[in-house]
A and B are shown apart, each in its own frame.
Chain A
Amino acid sequence: MEIKDKLKILADAAKYDVSCSSSGSSRKNKADGIGNAAISGICHSWSDDGRCISLLKILLTNYCIYNCAYCINRASNDLPRAAFTPNEVAELTINFYRRNYIEGLFLSSAIMINPDHTMEQLLNTVKILRTEHNFNGYIHVKAIPGADSRLIHETGLYVDRMSVNIELPSNGGLKLLAPQKKKEEIIKPMSLITKQHQQSKEERRAFKSSPAFAPAGQSTQLIVGATQDHDFQILKLSEGLYNRFQLKRVYYSAYVPVGVHPNLPVLANPPTLREHRLYQADWLLRFYGFSADELLNERQPNFDVQLDPKCDWALNNFSLFPIEINKAEYHMLLRVPGIGVQSARRIIAARRLAPISYDGLKKIGVVLKRAKYFITCQGKYYSEVGLKDHLIRESLTVKPILSPSNQNEKQLSFFDVYKLKESIITGEL
Chain B
Amino acid sequence: MIIFVFDNTFEGLLTAVYEAYYTNARPDRIVTEVYHQPNLVDAVKFIETDEVKSNKVYDAIVKKVSKEALRHVYHAFLSETVDAPTIIYRYLTIAFKMGQQVDHLLTNKHILEIHKISKKVTREKHRMLGLVRFQLIKEDLYYASIEPDHHIVGLLAPHFAKRMADQNWIIHDKKRDTAAIFDKSQWFIAPLQYKNEITNNNEEALYQELWKTYFKNIAIKERKNSKLQRSFMPTRYWKHLTEKS
* Given contacts A4-B213, A364-B106, A33 and B134 within 8 Å (CB-CB): no
Q: Is B163 an interface residue (CB 8 A)?
A: yes
In the complex, chain A residues whose CB is within 8 Å of the CB of B243: 45, 101
Q: B242 touches which one: A11, A48, A101 (CB < 8 A)?
A: A101
In the complex, chain B residues whose CB is within 8 Å of the CB of A36: 162-163
A349 near B222: Cβ-Cβ < 8 Å: no
Q: A42 touches which one: B101, B130, B214, B231 (CB < 8 A)?
A: B130
Determine chain B's interface SS by DSSP, over half rule: helix
Q: Is A256 an interface residue (CB 8 A)?
A: yes
Q: Is B224 an interface residue (CB 8 A)?
A: yes
Q: B210 touches which one: A3, A28, A50 (CB < 8 A)?
A: A3
Q: A47 touches which one: B134, B165, B218 (CB < 8 A)?
A: B218
Please give the number of chain A residues whose Cβ is less than 8 angstroms from any Cβ of chain B in the complex. 61
How close is A262's CB to chain B, nearest CB, in angstroms? 22
Nearest opposing residue in chain A for B241, CB measure: A45
In the complex, chain B residues whose CB is within 8 Å of the CB of A98: 134, 136, 142, 164, 167
* Given contacts A98-B142, A100-B144, A272-B223, A34 and B165 within 8 Å (CB-CB): yes
In the complex, chain B residues whose CB is within 8 Å of the CB of A349: 104, 106
A57 to B214 Cα, complex, angstroms: 9
How close is B129's CB to chain A, nearest CB, in angstroms? 5
Q: Is B233 an interface residue (CB 8 A)?
A: yes
Q: A15 touches which one: B130, B135, B220 (CB < 8 A)?
A: B220
A346 near B106: Cβ-Cβ < 8 Å: yes
How close is A96's CB to chain B, nearest CB, in angstroms? 6
A10 to B229 Cα, complex, angstroms: 23
A15 near B107: Cβ-Cβ < 8 Å: no
> Which of A147-155, A292-300, A352-360, A387-395 faces chain B?
A352-360
Q: Is B112 an interface residue (CB 8 A)?
A: yes
Please give the number of chain B residues whose Cβ is less than 8 angstroms from any Cβ of chain A in the complex. 52
Most A Cβ at <10 Å: residue of B112, B159, B217, B243: B217
Q: Is B227 an interface residue (CB 8 A)?
A: yes
Q: B165 touches which one: A33, A254, A346 (CB < 8 A)?
A: A33
Nearest opposing residue in chain B for A58, CB measure: B214
B213 near A100: Cβ-Cβ < 8 Å: no
B207 near A96: Cβ-Cβ < 8 Å: yes
In the complex, chain B residues whose CB is within 8 Å of the CB of A95: 207
Q: A11-B213, A35-B163, A45-B241 given. 15 additional CB < 8 A pairs?
A: A15-B217, A28-B162, A29-B162, A33-B166, A34-B166, A42-B126, A45-B131, A46-B228, A48-B219, A49-B220, A52-B232, A100-B164, A270-B222, A359-B107, A360-B106
> Can you list 26 A-B contacts with CB-CB less than 8 angstroms, sorted by A residue number?
A4-B213, A15-B217, A15-B219, A29-B163, A32-B166, A38-B159, A44-B130, A45-B131, A45-B241, A46-B232, A47-B218, A49-B220, A49-B221, A49-B228, A49-B229, A54-B130, A96-B210, A96-B214, A99-B134, A99-B242, A100-B134, A100-B160, A254-B223, A353-B104, A353-B105, A360-B106
The 5 residue pairs across chains A and B that have the minimum distance between CB atoms = A50-B228, A360-B107, A50-B225, A47-B219, A48-B219
Chain A contacts to B: CB under 8 angstroms: 3-4, 7-8, 11-12, 14-16, 28-29, 32-36, 38, 40, 42-54, 56-58, 92, 95-96, 98-101, 103, 137, 254, 256-257, 269-270, 272, 346, 349-350, 352-354, 356-357, 359-360, 363-364
